[in-house]
């Protein structure tokens, strides 16, 4: 449902939340070409009112060092990664926002409807959305 310029990475909301919590990322701005957006520039989606923050391209460390005993084996080794610039939503998608996508015919209802259908939870994060549903929302 969000319209993003071509060339920007789109990470489904459910996965994005886990990535943000699981990985500490230090972005280093590359000196290649003119920067059209600045670090943490914000824009608001006209579709659902979501605030989106610009993340510049750059390198980051991911994983854990071999001598990090509490780290799981699938977190090792510590290594450098690189991501192109992208826009990321500031918060999770709410039931109200997701309902806009359903009303537009682009999304299907979530599996967990006890909160989704309750107006008291309109501003709570949507629950029970599959990867395919999240991808349709971002599409």
pLDDT mean over 101-119: 89
pLDDT tens figures, 54-84: 888 999 999 999 999 999 999 999 999 999 9
56 and 40 in contact (C-beta within 8 Å)?
Answer: no
Domain regions of the chain by residue span = 13-138
From 12-16, 115-119, 120-124, the region with the lowest mean pLDDT: 12-16
Place of tokens 């949507």: 126
1 and 106 in contact (C-beta within 8 Å)?
Answer: yes
Average pLDDT taken over every residue of the chain:
76
Of all helices (H) and strands (E), which one includes residue 138?
helix 131-138
85 and 40 in contact (C-beta within 8 Å)?
Answer: no
pLDDT of residue 106: 92
Question: What percentage of the chain carries pLDDT values higher than 90?
Answer: 47
């Amino acid at each position: 449902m969000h319209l993003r310029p071509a060339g920007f990475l789109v990470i489904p909301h459910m996965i994005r939340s886990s990535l943000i919590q699981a990985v500490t990322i230090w972005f280093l701005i590359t000196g290649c070409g003119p920067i059209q957006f600045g670090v943490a520039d914000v824009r608001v989606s006209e579709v659902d009112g979501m605030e989106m923050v610009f993340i510049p391209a750059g390198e980051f460390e991911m994983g854990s060092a071999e001598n990090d005993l509490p780290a799981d084996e699938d977190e090792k080794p510590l290594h450098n990664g690189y991501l192109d610039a992208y826009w990321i939503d500031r918060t999770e998608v709410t039931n109200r926002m997701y309902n806009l996508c359903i009303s537009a015919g682009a999304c299907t209802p979530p599996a967990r409807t006890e909160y989704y259908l309750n107006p008291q939870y309109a501003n709570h994060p949507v629950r029970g959305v599959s990867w395919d549903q999240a991808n349709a929302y971002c599409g």
